[in-house]
Structure formats: C-alpha cells, structure tokens
Amino acid sequence: MNAWGKDTEYEIVIDDTSGTMFDITQLVPELKWDTSRVGKAGSIELKVIRNPEWQSTQYEIKCGYVVRIKLDGVTFCYGRIFSVERTEEREWRVVAYDQLRYLVEADTYIKENVKASQVIKDAAIEVGLKVGQIADTQFAIPKMNQRGQKRLDMIYWALDQTLLAKGTTFVFYDNAGELTLKNVADMKIDLILGDSSLVYKYSSNQSIDKDTYNRVKLVREDKEAGRDKAIVYENSDSIKRWGRLQYYQKVDDGLNKAQVEEMAKRFLELRNREKRQFTLDALGYVGVRAGSVLQVTIKELNVNQNYLVEECTHKFSGSEHTMSLELKEYDA
C-alpha cells in the first residue's frame, strides 16, 4: 500500500530535465493541486518525506525540476518547481507551477486584426512554451496595443474582446504541459454533484456586488470629429431594482458604430443578472479542473443546472482525495 491508498494508481515523478527521473509517490503523504479559470497559473504543492539515503545529489529536488503526476500512466498534472523548503523534521515543502507562470512576464505586443488564439501562439513562441490544442477564436481584434503588460493579461484581454464581440467564452489553461484553449462548450464533463453525489458540504451566494451591470457605456474615439463618442445601453427595470451599476470601457477606434453597439448589447445581456455562486466540498475526481462545466443538483436550494468551475483545489492526503470548488452559473 502506498501513500495514495491501495486501490489507486497514482504516480509522482520528478524529472531533472537532463534525463534522470525518480518516483517519489511513496514519500508524498500530502499534495494539493490548484487551478483557476482566469488570472493565474496552476500550482502543485507537495509535502515530501526525505529519505535518509538521499544524501547525494542524485535524488536532490531542485528549483527548475519538473513534477509529473500520473493516473494509470497518463499525466494529468504538470509543473516546474519554483521553491523548495527544507525543515528540521526531514520534510520538504515543494511548490511547482504550470506553464502559465512564465506568461506573467511583461512586454509589448502591437498587432492589427489579430485573433486571441494567435495572441496565445505568439506568446508561446516568444517565451518558448509547448502548445497543444488551440481553438480558433475566429474574431479578429482590430488593434492590440499592449505596452508593458503581462503576457497573461494580454491573453485574457483578447479573450474578453472575443466574448464581447461573439458572446463565446474560451478557457485557457495548461493541460499536463501543453498550453490549451477550448470553447467552454467543449469543457462539459459527465459528472453530477449534489445531494447524493460526492458532495458533503456546500454554501450558496447570490450577489450583484461583482460583475453585475445594468448600464454599459462604451466610448470610441471619432478622429474625424476630433472627440470621443459614447454608446450607452441600460436596463431601466434592474436600475430601479438595484440602483445604477455602470460598466465603462474605451474601445478600439478600429471598430465601427454598429460593432460597438453590438458589443454593448451583448455585454448587457451577459452581465445584467444576479450572480449565483456555489462553494462545494466533495470527494475528489481528477477530471475536474478550473474551466470544467458540470451539473449541480441540490433539492433544498431548488438547483438543477450546469455550473462553471472558477476555482478548483484538489487535496490528496493518505488514501483520501477531496476537492473544493468555486462555481458560477453557466448558461449552455
């Protein structure tokens, strides 16, 4: 029986990137894997019990080494080590991040008529990252003029412009060592969480405090007139109900009036609603990560619909595997 339980086929491998690999599965009593749908790299945190025989550099764990976590021989979690903490109790605390960590560097990116999918490919080439499946985002952004911005922020900005223009959400993540972009519609997994399925704790929240707007004001520079022109759409009913919640953005001057009007309408359709979110603690299922779409069924709350995973934390301790999820409503 290993540290993961006799019925599991997990494997944790350290790769020094020079041809040497060693299995530390039995030396890891605790592991945490975090993913976030937007804004940051996935992370792996390992607690490693140092074997006394590791006195030579042959089995040393160093920054820059790669961690691969496999299930039935297939890698589902990958990261490069960024920190190693040693304690007097012969424990190592190891933290690794996936490839998105390398996209936090700042640079300049200026391009016209570029799709978000191409922005990702260009960033990967520049930084030297491995690319997997990248969905075609189709919408050509008239002008990207990003100076001194983090590459990751540039990518999410481009995806936001695509969402406004086309109403399509894409999920960008590292899939076991390959940068991946998928339409959220392709992230649905065959899993139901709820009263009698895996969940042992939950909380529900309804809010208009974040990402809810009932008035949108998009401003476009009119070079011929020599001034900015604003396009405004609002929902008077929800303004009466909630008060005015305005979203403001200066849009690309390469967009024409009709395009800006369509963006404003689409934005209001997406954001003029209460946000219902769940926090669930459940038995673990490795197929779930940030960006996954799954069904939640809880009779007490009259809930039976799909939710999008915003944050996902898997915890492995001994033979136990649990996960904590932050979810938001998803309309298919």
Residue type, 166: K
* Same domain (yes/no): 204, 322: yes
Cβ–Cβ under 8 Å, residues 171 and 37: yes
Lowest mean pLDDT, pick from 24-38, 185-199, 221-235, 294-308: 221-235
Question: Is the residue at 157 inside a domain?
Answer: yes
Question: Using 50, 70 and 90 to split pLDDT, how confident is the model at 53?
Answer: low
pLDDT value at residue 252: 77
pLDDT value at residue 54: 59
User: How confident is the model over 94-153, as pLDDT tens digits?
Assistant: 999 999 999 999 999 999 999 999 999 999 999 999 999 999 999 999 889 899 999 999
* Same domain (yes/no): 199, 314: yes
* Same domain (yes/no): 194, 302: yes
Strand partners, 183: 170
pLDDT value at residue 289: 96
How many domains, the chain? 4
Question: Is the residue at 26 inside a domain?
Answer: yes
pLDDT value at residue 95: 97
pLDDT value at residue 198: 85
Question: Using 50, 70 and 90 to split pLDDT, how confident is the model at 215?
Answer: very high
Question: Using 50, 70 and 90 to split pLDDT, how confident is the model at 72?
Answer: confident
pLDDT at 226 exceeding the cut of 70 = no
Question: Is the residue at 4 inside a domain?
Answer: no
Closest CA to 164 of 235, 247, 100, 46: 247
Closest CA to 249 of 221, 209, 223: 221
* Same domain (yes/no): 31, 152: no
CA 199 to chain centre: 22
Question: Using 50, 70 and 90 to split pLDDT, how confident is the model at 3?
Answer: very low
Q: Which residues contact 256 (CB under 8 A, 6 or more apart)?
A: none
pLDDT at 294 exceeding the cut of 70 = yes
Last residue of a domain, one of 97, 132, 155: 97
pLDDT value at residue 73: 80
Per-residue DSSP letter, 4: T
* Same domain (yes/no): 129, 88: no
pLDDT value at residue 70: 87
Question: Is the residue at 227 inside a domain?
Answer: yes
Question: Using 50, 70 and 90 to split pLDDT, how confident is the model at 63?
Answer: very high
- Average pLDDT on 234-242 reads 95
pLDDT at 2 exceeding the cut of 50 = no
Last residue of a domain, one of 58, 81, 97: 97
- Average pLDDT on 213-238 reads 85
pLDDT at 208 exceeding the cut of 80 = yes
* Same domain (yes/no): 111, 178: yes
Closest CA to 152 of 133, 126, 177: 126
Strand partners, 224: none
- Average pLDDT on 255-267 reads 86
Q: Which residues contact 30 (CB under 8 A, 6 or more apart)?
A: 46, 47, 315, 316, 317
User: How confident is the model over 25-39, as pLDDT tens digits?
Assistant: 888 999 999 999 998
Residue with tokens 């219902």: 276
pLDDT value at residue 109: 96
User: How confident is the model over 270-288, as pLDDT tens digits?
Assistant: 889 988 788 999 999 999 9
Question: Is the residue at 269 inside a domain?
Answer: no
| Biggest distance spanned by C-alpha atoms of the chain | 76
Question: Is the residue at 268 inside a domain?
Answer: no
* Same domain (yes/no): 139, 180: yes
User: How confident is the model over 172-190, as pLDDT tens digits?
Assistant: 999 999 999 999 999 999 9
Strand partners, 84: 94
Residue type, 279: T
The Cα 58–Cα 79 span in angstroms is 20
Cβ–Cβ under 8 Å, residues 330 and 184: yes
* Same domain (yes/no): 91, 33: yes
The Cα 216–Cα 143 span in angstroms is 21
Residue with tokens 């999918």: 117
The CA distances from residue 190 to 151, 183, 210, 323, in Å, are 33, 17, 29, 17
Question: Is the residue at 1 inside a domain?
Answer: no
Residue count of the chain: 332
Query: Quick one: tokens of 133?
Result: 């499946």
Residue type, 73: G
pLDDT value at residue 125: 97
Closest CA to 69 of 286, 271, 269: 286
Question: Is the residue at 34 inside a domain?
Answer: yes
Residue ranges making up the domain that contains 175: 102-184
* Same domain (yes/no): 202, 227: no
* Same domain (yes/no): 253, 242: yes
* Same domain (yes/no): 21, 133: no
* Same domain (yes/no): 171, 285: no
Query: How crowded is residue 180: how many other Cβ atoms within 10 Å of its Cβ?
Result: 19
CATH code for the domain of 14: 2.30.300.10
Last residue of a domain, one of 46, 77, 97: 97
Query: How crowded is residue 121: how many other Cβ atoms within 10 Å of its Cβ?
Result: 15
